[in-house]
Amino acid sequence: MAAHLSVAVERWPLANVFTIARGSKTEAVVVVAEISRDGRTGRGECVPYARYGETVEGVVAAIEAQRPAIEAGLDRSALQDLVPAGAARNAIDCALWDLEAKLAGQPAWRLAGLAEPAAAVTAYTLSLGEPEAMAEAAAKAAHRPLLKVKLGTPDDASRIAAVRRHAPQSQLIIDANEGWRADNLAANLRACAEAGVTLIEQPLPASDDAALAEVERIVPVCADESLHDRASLAKLAGRYDAINIKLDKAGGLTEAIALARQAQALKLDLMIGCMVGTSLAMAPALLLAGQARVIDLDGPLLLARDREPGLRYEGSTVWPPEPSLWG
């Protein structure tokens, strides 16, 4: 029986304005690909990201361009050669994984040769704001064991200190979203060290991160915008201690699994991250959670509402997906 592809754009309001160094947003705009065959349907969700030159319209067009191949029986292996890494390939790849699992009557983690996923603690993200506002947000979230703090201003030291004062027991991840520069890198690293920060994500622009090889990294540094798929790994040597694997960057779970293995062989720690999306986008990434030092899959916690059925979240603990959602 021939496969059938459908593509939809969905808008999910956020619970609060979400701000990073590049700007603010009030909704998550996602693209969902559904591939049906033999009475089963697999789904994959992606989040087009302007930082990587993506638009919603462009991602939809890229998925639609593969309709003939998909409906003729495209498999995940061939997909890797047809579509470049990015959001469009992620949606197709995850839909194919989901469909394969449903047709086989087997969980996706078993088909992938991975360990069975377990409940995991995810980071919870604090938006960028004035120090007082971030201190207030930190106080409200201080019961959470792991907080991710968005930064990227000329006065980040005061924000780091404010968050630490109001969330004294939480582990902190700092995400500068390329907002620091070589001339303030060392001072910001010291501020992070003084606050007992666990990890710093992408402090410098991806195009100008050579200074990371010249400075003492007194807090481990994680590549985000500098790392997409396995082709990005070679240039990270000496600059980073960890990588943030996001399925939307890697182009799906297939590449993410291979990327995780190669990065671990290079002695890089893993962070499993996400764009702001629904539980459908988080579910495939949870298959890699057991290999990661840090998990940042809090997208649904930032939404005004999640899709039903969604992932089960209790506080900062997230459970693996049920087959009715994905995989």
What Rg do the C-alpha atoms of the chain give, in angstroms?
Answer: 19
Pick from 130, 120, 296: nearest CA to 198: 296
Residue with tokens 């361009």: 65
Cα 302 to Cα 304: distance, rounded to the nearest angstrom: 7
Task: Encode 49-75: b = buried (16+ Cβ within 10 Å), e = exposed.
Answer: beeeebebeebbebbeebeebbeeebe
Q: How far does CA 12 lie from the centroid of its chain?
A: 17
The C-alpha atoms of residue 28 and residue 47 are separated, in whole angstroms, by 8
Pick from 217, 223, 226: which is nearest to 197 by CA?
217
The HSE-up count of residue 275 (CA atoms within 13 Å, CB side) is 27
Q: Annotated active-site positions, please? A: 150, 246
Strand partners, 14: 303
d(CA 196, CA 307): 36
Element (H, E) at 292: none
State the Cα–Cα distance between residues 251 and 253, nearest whole angstrom. Answer: 7
**What type of residue is 59?**
V
N-terminal to C-terminal alpha carbon distance within the chain: 21
